[in-house]
Amino acid sequence: MAASASQLEMDEGFFEELRAIVGDENVLSEPGELLVYECDGLPQHKHPPLAVVFPNSTEETSEVLEFLAAENVSFAPRGAGTGLSGGALAINRGVVIELARMRKILRVDPENRLAVVQAGLVNAHLSRAVSPYGLYYVPDPSSQPSCTIGGNIAENAGGIHCLKYGTTTDHIVGARVVLSDGSIVDLGNATPGYDLLGVFVGSEGTFGIATEATVKLSPIPPAVRTLLADFLDVDDASRAVSAIIAAGMLPAALEMMDNAIIRAVEQSVFTAGLPIDAQAVLLVELDGAEAGIDNDAQKAEAILLDHGARAVRRAADENERKKLWAARKGAFGAVGRLSPDIMIQDAVVPRSRLPEVLRETYRIASQNNLQLANVFHAGDGNLHPLICFDLRRGDDLEHVRQAGREIMEVCVRAGGSITGEHGVGLDKSSYLPLIFSEDDMEAMMRVRAAFDPSGLCNPGKIIPLPRGCGEARAVATQGLSESLPVFPLPLAEGQGEGVSRARAIPHPRPLPKEEGVIKTANSARLAERISEARVINEFKRIVGAQNLNRLWETELATNSQLASEKERTVVVAPATAGEASEVMRVAGREGLTVIPAGSSTWLDAGNPLNRADLILTTRRLTKIIRHEPADLVATAEAGVTLSEFQKHLAAAGQWLPIDPPDDDKASLGGVVATGLGGPHSLGYGAPRSFVIGMRLVLADGRAIKAGGNVVKNVAGYDLCKLFTGSYGTLGLITELTFKLRPLPAETRSVIASGPRGSLMAAGRRISVQMFPAAVEMLSSRLAEQLGMEARREEYALLFRFAGSSRTVVTQTAQALKVLREDRNHHCATHGEDAKLWRELSTASLQSADDLVWRATMRPTELPAFLDEMAALETDEVSQARLRWHAGLGDGRVRAIGRAPVYHREAVRALERMRQRAENLGGSLIVEKAPLEIKNEIDAWGDFGSASELMRRVKTQFDPENILSPGRMFA
């Protein structure tokens, strides 16, 4: 059992061991020294630790955790302790692992816009250090002068500019993590497999300790306009927020402060000349290229005035802009002037519901005789109601908590979440059941058990835990035991009110060694069962006879890799998630393997399936459930095709900015399950950035949800990231919620042809300096296939700008100028360019192309990799008609060809290219290949040091290995 009573009585030998690892000066154990560490930025919770340890390196951290594991002592990672949910507290007298002394910037790579830093680095120090390169680190929580990158990762911290640029999860590409047994793993997008980095971000220190991170840096925008609009009515201000978004604008920041905050700020050192008689002010910041930004600012001003702004003032210069943001960021500090005690809430609501929710927050406060102040990220709908009170005056803390809870319930009823950026921690675990069911939380605990089988890592946080062993009930799943270890936590004061309605979720049992091994399905047993009429009839009863077919009756029978299975495999098409759940339950009971499918265009992705008894397709789940343009959010069932979805969104001037390979057939579920982006990932990000919620059916038939309906949400673990790109090996996705983007007012593309070296150099300059939506280099054969006018042996460069008309026209002219500096380049501009990009993204889907692979690496490594490709292109024996395109800004290559008759040649060529990619720090994945080739080369390559962890995740979700067996793990 973790966090045992023996923790309370450690002898001096225990501390001596710790000192031997990190040095005498790096262990605190005296009660006086420990006082600072008994709480974080939320003083309502206090838990004095047993000791505080300051490791100086990843290796020391690993040694410390190995020692604690041997002693069975729990621990809590800690950065700067600015967290506002009690996350960094070592409950039950555990050990605090303080990262503050690991604060080095290890490497800056300005060309690839990356930095490698230690986790204890203070956020603001990073932007300061890289500013000489014209770069900055985007996530900018108001606490950025003190909070650490590790703390930001753990909380998926947001900031003022995350409306346009996303939260921490969108800016971290790798993390070195020490797990609770002391093992060190590298998580990140350089290796294939599950997105463990995605689910680690926001895990609030319960999965392990991040000791290093590779972060994305972004170019400092060349032009910025900051507007201050003041309103005499809070409702008007909140309506103006939605109006700006609905008008197709996406400001970099959109913040609101109400009258109480304005007054407090104006009396403080942060005074910025805010109008103290205004009921609310909005701070709106637009950024981007200089050309056109004033037009955008005028448009925003007009909308603000139309919606009741009394005046709109533009920051005259950088100095005034800084003052305005200092006022906003200093608001939390300034509220000390309103009352001696403050309870900070953090909740998110759909942006369109802001007016009514804000009204309710004020009503609840006044009903409880409390003062309320509001300062928040309005563009994201991320509210921070501050309940002001004075304990000395006899204000009842219970009263305050009651008001806090009512406010939270209002936000949840409006379709929101219980936390947008401060995390759940210790403070809000009792609220989690307001938005997640027991099954949802139990699924989260499975991931936690995979990362931390011992339960020693930051116990007691996020998920409501049992009040005592007597209340613990086993979770009735394979892989989880009846006698689960529980944490007999004394619940902190104020915690746990919400637990009474929800069953506390025990920590899943650590997997015995043999259970970390992926099982092989028992073919003989399965073959008998699927042919039984009884089972078939049961499926027919669930979905209707007409919605069950034998594979040989369907188009899929021609799919080469399932052809051998066609006699036996059945295709089942449920009409609802409930039916899918039932089918999965029966399949599980009967020991059948299940292949989740959408439109079934890519069932042979990854390694060959061991068996395919049942294809469970979402093709009848075709409803678009909700689309609220003012929220820039839409929800659809997983069987809706991407092209139908885009058509629907376009009618409201919006889109989902992803362009995976798709010839109008790909379903949303399939697109997300494969997680593939295309050329536009450069300008907008990969599909993982846009999935904010999903519903799933797990291998045991449980229907769960992950994420929610709001654009910012850190409640619970980000399972959406885990399931995105999991290729149907962890569950069936039945419904998806996406955040969207406004359709650009204008797009313009240029095709240039010329020699590879000079085109690449020009393309790199354009991608680094000019904010394009996409920049792709095409091999001459691919250019020829797409009908582009490239001369023989010449390559093509295709790039696109998207945005407001003036900006796009200017950017295109600038890019053309760069290209024309070399007389060997021939350029043509395209206004109506959608067809061009569509053809590029569907190039790999031609039925004759049976060999498709992709590689990723740092963009500066592309020239070396493409040199190798060029050699391969001319090698007619190994790669007949090889064509490729490469994203110059994001280091993505997709190669397409026809497999040669002698498949050994193809295997050798693939191995050679994979080796090259790996030597350059990247990876290569075989997307599509004839079975003879796939039988000889692993589709994924090396999963890296996280391989074992991925297997543990797979085993937690699919202990019998019935979901797409063999596809990812042999």
Ligand X SMILES: Cc1cc2nc3c(=O)[nH]c(=O)nc-3n(C[C@H](O)[C@H](O)[C@H](O)COP(=O)(O)OP(=O)(O)OC[C@H]3O[C@@H](n4cnc5c(N)ncnc54)[C@H](O)[C@@H]3O)c2cc1C
What amino acid occupies position 841?
S
Least separation in angstroms between CB 496 and ligand X? 19
- What does the block give as tokens for 955? 């085993």
Least distance between ligand X and beta carbon 347 (Å): 13
Q: Which is nearer to ligand X, 141 or 966 (CB)?
A: 141
Q: Least distance in Å: CB of 88 to ligand X?
A: 4
Q: Under 8 Å CB-to-CB from 818, ≥6 apart: which residues?
A: 762, 765, 766
Binding span for ligand X by CB under 6 A among 72-80, 218-226, 648-656, 795-803: 72-80
Which of 332, 376, 727, 837 is the binder for ligand X (CB under 6 A)? 332
**Distance between CA 872 and CA 874 in Å, rounded?**
5
Cα separation, 264 vs 276, in Å, equals: 9
Shortest distance, position 147 Cβ to ligand X, whole Å: 3
**Contacting residue, 151, 188, 657, 683, with ligand X by CB under 6 A:** 151
Nearer to ligand X, 462 or 586 (CB): 462
Q: Is 77 in the site for ligand X (CB under 6 A)?
A: yes
User: Nearest approach, Cβ of 449 to ligand X (angstroms)?
Assistant: 17
Strand order from edge to edge, sheet including 385-389: 309-314, 223-231, 280-288, 253-258, 371-376, 385-389, 341-344
Please, what's the b/e burial string for 261-271 (b: 16 or more CB within 10 A of its CB; e: otherwise)? bbbbbbebebe
- Of the candidates 55, 158, 174, 679, which one interacts with ligand X according to CB under 6 A? 158
Q: What is the DSSP string of 239-282?
A: HHHHHHHHTT---SEEEEEEHHHHHHHHTSTT-----TT-SEEE
452 lines the binding site for ligand X (CB under 6 A) = no
Q: Is the Cβ of residue 28 or residue 209 nearer to ligand X in the bound state? A: 209
Shortest distance (Å) from residue 76 CB to ligand X: 5
**According to CB under 6 A, which residues from 458 to 487 bind ligand X?**
458
Dihedral sign (CA 232, 238, 241, 246): negative
Which residues does 102 contact at the CB level (< 8 Å), separation at least 6?
Answer: 55, 56, 57, 118, 119, 120, 121, 211
Size of the site for ligand X (CB under 6 A): 37
CA distances from 194 to 173, 590, 719, 954 (A): 14, 28, 11, 9
Closest CA to 226 of 339, 289, 312: 312
Q: Is the dihedral of CA 141, 144, 149, 155 positive or negative?
A: negative
Backbone angles phi, psi at 955, to 5 degrees: -65, -35
Q: Which amino acid is at 932?
A: E
Distance CA 66, CA 122 (A): 27
| Contact stretch for ligand X (CB under 6 A) within 205-213, 246-254, 723-731, 757-765 | 205-213
Least distance CB 61 / ligand X (angstroms):
9
Identify which of 118, 341, 286 has the alpha carbon closest to the alpha carbon of residue 213: 118
Is residue 464 within 8 Å of residue 430, measured between CB atoms?
A: yes
Contact residue for ligand X among 55, 81, 460, 941 (CB under 6 A): 81
Q: Pattern of binders to ligand X over 554-593, x per CB under 6 A?
A: ----------------------------------------
Q: Name the residue nearer to ligand X (CB basis): 449 or 775.
A: 449
Q: Which is nearer to ligand X, 487 or 645 (CB)?
A: 487
Q: Which CB atom, from 301 or from 421, has the smaller least distance to ligand X?
A: 421
209 versus 282: smaller Cβ distance to ligand X:
209
Cβ closest to ligand X, residue 77 vs residue 763: 77
Which residue in 65, 154, 272, 673 binds ligand X (CB under 6 A)?
Answer: 154
Q: Which is nearer to ligand X, 456 or 518 (CB)?
A: 456
The answer to whether the beta carbons of residues 26 and 56 sit under 8 Å apart is yes
Residue 205 found at the interface with ligand X (CB under 6 A): yes
Near ligand X by CB under 6 A, which window of 4-12, 152-160, 216-224, 557-565?
Answer: 152-160
Query: Distance between alpha carbon 240 and the CA centroid of its chain, in Å?
Result: 29
Told to check if 150 binds ligand X by CB under 6 A, we report yes
Instruction: Determine if 345 is a binding residue for ligand X (CB under 6 A).
Output: no
Q: Of 170, 195, 296, 421, which lies in the binding site for ligand X, with binding defined by CB under 6 A?
A: 421
Q: Is the dihedral of CA 835, 839, 841, 845 positive or negative?
A: positive
H or E element that contains 809 = helix 805-820
Q: Is 159 in the site for ligand X (CB under 6 A)?
A: yes
Q: Which is nearer to ligand X, 78 or 903 (CB)?
A: 78
- Provide the strand spans (E) within 280-379: 280-288, 309-314, 341-344, 347-348, 371-376
Residue number, 309 or 714, with CB nearest to ligand X: 714
Q: Which of 58, 74, 127, 152 binds ligand X (CB under 6 A)?
A: 152
Task: Find the part of the chain contacting ligand X (CB under 6 A) among 49-57, 204-212, 284-292, 538-546.
Answer: 204-212
Please calculate the CA angle 909-915-921 and round it to the nearest 5 degrees.
Answer: 140
C-beta of 208 vs 897, nearer to ligand X: 208
Interface with ligand X (CB under 6 A), residue from 18, 22, 80, 843: 80
Nearest residue (CB) to ligand X, 105 versus 816: 105
87 binds ligand X (CB under 6 A): yes
Contact 292, 221 (CB under 8 A): no
Nearer to ligand X, 99 or 672 (CB): 99
**Of 204, 296, 380, 776, which one interacts with ligand X (CB under 6 A)?**
204
Pick the stretch among 75-83, 266-274, 910-918, 961-969 that binds ligand X (CB under 6 A): 75-83
Q: Does 83 bind ligand X (CB under 6 A)?
A: yes
Q: Which of 2, 157, 450, 924 contacts ligand X by CB under 6 A?
A: 157
Which amino acid appears at position 155 of this protein? Answer: E
Contacts 24+ apart (CB under 8 A), 621-624: 621/574, 621/575, 621/576, 621/577, 621/580, 621/669, 621/734, 621/735, 624/648
Nearer to ligand X, 422 or 739 (CB): 422
Residue 213 Cβ, how far from ligand X at the closest point, in Å?
9
| Residues 208, 862: Cα–Cα separation, whole Å | 33
The one among 328, 422, 825, 903 contacting ligand X by CB under 6 A: 422
Contact predicate 694/596, CB 8 Å:
no
Subset of 89-148 contacting ligand X (CB under 6 A) = 99, 119, 141-143, 147-148
Residue 209 contacts ligand X per CB under 6 A: yes
User: Which of 27-35, 81-89, 297-305, 769-777 is the region at the interface with ligand X (rule: CB under 6 A)?
Assistant: 81-89
- Determine the interface stretch with ligand X among 156-164, 482-490, 572-580, 646-654 (rule: CB under 6 A): 156-164
Determine the interface stretch with ligand X among 201-209, 571-579, 735-743, 961-969 (rule: CB under 6 A): 201-209
**By the rule CB under 6 A, 41 interacts with ligand X:** yes
Q: 819 in the Ramachandran plot: left (φ > 0), alpha (ψ -120 to 50) or beta?
A: alpha
Least CB distance to ligand X at residue 864 (A): 34
Q: Left if phi > 0, otherwise alpha if psi is -120 to 50, otherwise beta: which for 166? A: left
Q: How far is the CB of 114 from ligand X (least distance, A)?
A: 19
One of 76, 304, 489, 899 touching ligand X (CB under 6 A):
76
Distance in Å, CB of 932 to ligand X, minimum? 45
DSSP H or E run through 751: strand 746-754
CB 820 within 8 A of CB 827: yes
**Quick one: three-class SS letters along 336-352?**
HHCCCEEEECCEECCHH
Chain positions contacting ligand X, by CB under 6 A: 40-41, 76-84, 87-88, 99, 119, 141-143, 147-148, 150-152, 154-155, 157-159, 204-205, 209-210, 332, 421-422, 425, 458
